[in-house]
Amino acid sequence: MRSFRYALDGVRSVALREPNFRVHLAAGAGAVVAGWLAALSGAEMAVLALTIALVLTAEALNTAIEAAVDLASPEWHPLAQRAKDAAAAGVLLAAVGAVGVGVALFGPRLAGLR
């Protein structure tokens, strides 16, 4: 139970301190509402939920990596910058993938094909 509480504290911390996490959380909530309104199937909603979880996880890991790098290397260092850039790239890749999933799930409906 203690580990679960620590994990929830981490979610709360990221949600309160990281504006980008809140943006992704709001976008995910909007996508869930849109999925409900578009009558996505159970499998489609599962894909949507996993996609949202992937983006939020990437954002949380990016935050953790940035904090650890800042602690380990308070002064600028090229390796520290590379680690932070790579973590940010992970979020970008997840977000771009999420857009692709959104297009695949909602595009045909918006185009009137379903």
- What's the DSSP call for residue 60? H
Dihedral angle at the C-alpha atoms of 86, 89, 91, 97, nearest 10 degrees? -140
Q: Check 44, 59, 66, 75 and give the catalytic one.
A: 59
Tell me, yes or no, if 66 is annotated catalytic: no
Contacts of 88 (CB under 8 A, 6+ apart): 62
What residues are labeled active site?
59
